[in-house]
Amino acid sequence: MSSFVETELNNLSKADINREYIIKGVESEDVELKNFLFTLGCYPGENVTVISDFKHNFVISVKDARYSIDLDLAKAIKL
């Protein structure tokens, strides 16, 4: 049984805490923002979990690493 959540959420900023999602894509007109997210491992098909959300600063887990991202980055990650 898969632990992944099928979702209709459109981006990571609306994700539930401690639920694992699959990244569908990274959407932004800002090339640097997209490239930064790719360096974190935010590729389509990759698993991502929001560990915490404190005042729109999100701690996420991608590929067994944790990162802190802001609201703009979280909105660019499509689920």
Q: Is residue 1 part of a domain?
A: no
Q: Is residue 60 part of a domain?
A: yes
Q: Note down the domain range covering 51.
A: 15-78
What pTM did the predictor assign?
0.86
What was the pLDDT predicted at 78?
96
What was the pLDDT predicted at 1?
45
What was the pLDDT predicted at 31?
94
Q: Is residue 74 part of a domain?
A: yes
What was the pLDDT predicted at 7?
57
* Structural domains counted in the chain: 1
| CB-neighbour burial class of residue 15 (10 A; exposed 0-12, middle 13-18, buried 19+) | buried
Q: Is residue 24 part of a domain?
A: yes
Q: Is residue 9 part of a domain?
A: no
How far apart CA 42 and CA 55 sit, in angstroms, is 22
Instruction: Return the DSSP state at 17.
Output: B
Q: Is residue 3 part of a domain?
A: no
**1-54, pLDDT tens digit by residue?**
445 555 567 999 999 999 999 999 999 999 999 999 999 999 999 999 999 999
